[in-house]
Amino acid sequence: MTPIKRPLAAAGAAVLLGLTLTACGGSSYPSDASEKEFCGGVEDVLTATTSVSGEEPTESEWEKLQEAYGDLGDIGTPEDISDAERNGFEVIVDAITDLDYDEAKKSFGDEDGEDSIPGVSKDDEKDADKFFEYIQKTCADQLGG
């Protein structure tokens, strides 16, 4: 498995989300999204992720991924998300939207055998995992998983 794709829901192998790249903390994303809006944004990210034609995205595909994550950031999260899950959301959205294609290419592939987010603390990685779990339970019906 490449770090550009990470299983999101055990029920559906096609449900992919986590792009594991460098994160740059700090954000002011909304925290009052409806579950329907939020899950719709997640669905758009999944569509962009699954449209990557090869093992690694082209520059055009990367821009679509960044746009989808940017839109998810604009939507924000529902109010019921925990602080850890919210931090994981911010880590992932920041990681994708802040990284230009040339820098992102350096993170593609899983050469060291690790499925981690380079430059992100272990605590933030744990929060990212909690965010993925949040998506599984919050968006399962809407995403068909």
User: Would you say the pTM of this structure is higher than 0.85?
Assistant: no
Q: Which two tokens stand for residue 47?
A: 């569509």
**Sites in the chain below the pLDDT cut of 70:** 1-27, 108-120, 145
- Give the pLDDT score at 108: 66
CA angle 90, 25, 14 (to 5 degrees): 35
Domain spans of the chain? 32-143
Q: Which two tokens stand for residue 116?
A: 């981690």
Q: Which two tokens stand for residue 71?
A: 């839109």
Q: Which H/E stretch holds residue 143? A: helix 122-143
- Give the pLDDT score at 100: 84
- Give the pLDDT score at 101: 85
Q: Which H/E stretch holds residue 12? A: strand 12-16
Contact 75, 33 (CB under 8 A): yes
| CA 37 – CA 7 distance, rounded (Å) | 22
- Give the pLDDT score at 24: 43
- Give the pLDDT score at 112: 52
- Give the pLDDT score at 10: 26
| CA 104 – CA 118 distance, rounded (Å) | 11
Neighbours of 122 (CB within 10 A): 9
> Rounded to the nearest 5°, which phi and psi values hold at 16?
-120, 145
